[in-house]
Structure 1
């Protein structure tokens, strides 16, 4: 090989230039490989974390499956023994609408006097307290919707 000035290149310089070029190429490959390693390390860390979450989820589900079933349904309300309560509930079932104490007195053919309406109201309040009826607004009673 001849140089631009027409002289033959020094074999030692030419060889050193080739080595330097090769060194720079290898250094570039090293940097790209390190960048790939960093990317792959981050990806591996994310995959390890995802796998750990799946192991925790499996362990949680298996432990929940091993727990005994608990009954979450509330106990059925107990209707008082007095026949008046059964009559009141039958009227609510037949009419299917909210009623006031006065309405029940009329349906039961009781005279509309304060004594009767207060007794009926007290029974209605007791049924509300036991969860058998609901008071949708003050003085208005209804059967709860399922």
Structure 2
């Protein structure tokens, strides 16, 4: 029945500034409703984000009401800290990890690699991708350590014989 997530919504103070922020992340503006709501495509014709002007932006943060995680490729995630900084966005600490590189949170059979940042209204955002967990690791760690332990070769490396 359910095929995926079609839309999510976040509160914002300034619609124009927020549209600029999210189009800077690569989302595509679809339409604006009465200068109080904007819809931007996350993946064209598959999922979008609604931005609502509200005076409730100052609500205390809780991931159930002010958080969105964007799925990215592993290669995109590896470059995400520099990519965000080059666009003027600031990665932030999360789960005790400084934003020097993505970190991994393992589960039993899989793991998630991620990096967190905020939008201009303090909404929590993250880039995330799913990883295999072949060694059934349970410790949270930086992605580079995860790859070293799992001996994951870089796609740019080549074997010389």
Q: What TM-score, normalized to structure 2? A: 0.18
Greater relative contact order (Cα < 8 A, sep 6+): 2
- Of Structure 1 and Structure 2, the greater helix share is in 1
- Of Structure 1 and Structure 2, the greater strand share is in 2
Q: What TM-score, normalized to structure 1? A: 0.20
